[in-house]
Structure formats: structure tokens, C-alpha cells
Amino acid sequence: MPADRARAAILAVALATALALGALLSSCASAGPSPAAQEWYDLGNAWLDKGDWKRAGQAYSRALALEPSFAGASFNLARALAEAGDYDGSLSALGALAKRDPGNVRIIAARAYALYKKGDFVAALAAYREALALDPFAPDAVYNAALLELAAGDAAGAASDLERLTQAKGDDGQAFLLLGRARDKLGDAEALAAYERANALGKADAAAMERMGALYGDAKRYPEAMDALDAAVKADPKLASAWFSLARLRLVVAADSDKGLAALKGALDAGFSDKEAAAALLAEPDLVEREKVIELLKSKSLEE
């Protein structure tokens, strides 16, 4: 999984759970905010839920002006600042909270997220690992640490973290999807099982379905390979490589002329341009509709 893609996919779960953080931070909160501070806090939550970070931040700031020890407002303010791009402000707010409750995993994970948003991926990963040292099964911290590990090329570390998470939380389809990619990077035969579980949980994306198709094909599980590739191109009709793999299986293995030619046309329409793969297809002794395949490939200058 490319680093930029992994970074774009990073979860904000640690911060998305902030709305209920008042109870979670009871160890560092006062007996309770004043009614006026609570009203501003609730208003901030409403703006936060709508993604209006500026107004949310303003409301939390008003709550804190009335009740400086209001931990939930401080935490949610940190979230709003991070999402609004004020990373240093977010980190400052979280630092103040951490002094009051240094072992709070959610605060540490939120700091990691703010560092990630700031672009300091090394420090973000270190912070996630700090959170995991306190709670090895913190779902958001495990997942986000694994994303950063995978982006940094540490597929083994990512797989180890995700295996722990999926064992503890067997219904986390996103974790199984990332585990499949980590295992895939390692050439681990168990990658397919992780992808299958992600698919069963409704989280396998088009790229994962394409990889499942390839892995099924390698195992000579051809009907499953074609089903997976068909799902991939339905999810992303522009996935030219998946279209071509589907065409090869239909034209060579299944001897399905109509669907095979349709898939090949789909690949070419999506911009398929791999001349070596086209030549390998034509070299297949069991290829059906050879002349029509040649004609289609010639139309895109893929057959000489």
C-alpha cells in the first residue's frame, strides 16, 4: 500500500470519540461544569458533529473561559484545532491535559493524531506506540500505528499489531483489510484469509478484491478468482488491470468468449496498456476467440 494512500486513510477514531470524553476523563475533571459552561460545550459538540471546526473551537473556548478545568471541553477543543489546521494549538491543549492525566491513552492517541496531521509521522508513530504500551488493544492506536508502520515499510510490525487487534476484535473489517495488505507485502499466504474476512465484513475495497482475485488465481481457485475480479471492476470500473486479469481467466480458463471479450474491452476502455501482458495473453495455447482478441489489442496498438 503506497505511503500517501496509507496516510490518507488514517483513522481519527481517537478524536471522533471525543464527544463522550467528559466521562472518560473523570479522573482529571472537576465535580462538574457549570450549566453555562455545559451549554457552550454542548453547542461545541453540535458544531463538531457538523464538521464546523472554527465554530466548535469558539464554543469550547467559551466553555473553558467559564470552567478552565473542563477536561472534555479541552479535549474537544484540541480536536477542533487539529482539524482546523492549528496543530501546535492542539498539541498545546493536549499537553496541558496530559499533565493532569499522564496515563490517559486517549490523550496520547489524540496527540499522535495531531502530530500525524502536522506531518511529523515519526513522532506520531512514537506517540501511538506510547499509547499501545499502556493499552496494547486500543483499537484506534493499533490501527493508526499499523498504517504508519506500513507506510514506512515496516510490514512485519504492522502485521504484528493488526494480528493482535483482529484477535481481540474479530468484527473490525478495516483492520482485517489492512492486515491483508501487510501480509501481502510480506508474501504471507495468510493474506488471502485476511482479505476474505474483510470482504465478509463488507470492508474489502476494489484494490483488495483485485488482490483476492490474483491470490485465488495463484491457488487455481478460478471461479472464486473471477468472482473477486468481477466485484473489483464493479466497484471501480476504471481498474484496468483487474479487467484484464478477468479477461484472461474468462478467455483462457473458462473459455467464455462473450464475457471474456467484454472484459478485455473493459480493460482497453479503462486504459490498459501493458504490452508484455498482452503478448503473454496471446501466447496462451487455450485462448479462445484469438482473432477477435488480436483485433481488440490492435485497436489500442497492443499487438504487433
| CATH classification at residue 108 | 1.25.40.10
Residues 138 and 1 placed together within one structural domain of the fold: yes
d(CA 257, CA 288): 6
pLDDT at position 13: 38
| Grid cell at residue 275 | 504490452
Determine the structural domain holding residue 192 and report its residue range: 154-204
Q: Which residue has the cell 511529523?
A: 120
pLDDT in tens, the chain (304 residues): 333 343 334 444 333 433 334 334 433 444 578 999 999 999 999 999 999 999 999 999 999 999 998 999 999 999 999 999 999 999 999 999 999 888 899 999 999 999 999 999 999 999 999 999 999 888 788 999 999 999 999 999 999 999 999 998 899 999 999 999 999 999 999 999 999 999 999 999 999 999 999 999 999 999 999 999 999 999 999 999 999 999 999 999 999 999 999 999 999 999 999 999 999 999 999 999 999 999 999 999 987 6
Q: Which run of H or E residues covers position 19? A: none
Res 4: pLDDT:
36
- The reply to whether 250 and 283 lie within a common domain is yes
What is the count of structural domains for the chain?
3
> Where a domain ends, among 170, 204, 238?
204
Residue 31 pLDDT: 59
Same domain as 115, residue 54 = yes
Cα 15 from Cα 81, distance rounded (Å): 11
Rg for the chain, CA atoms, rounded: 25
Q: Are residues 279 and 176 in the same domain?
A: no
Do 35 and 61 meet the contact criterion of CB atoms below 8 Å apart? no
Q: What is the pLDDT of residue 28?
A: 44
User: In terms of domains, do 105 and 187 share one?
Assistant: no
C-alpha 128/C-alpha 219 separation (Å) is 37
CA quadruple 238, 240, 243, 245: dihedral positive or negative?
negative
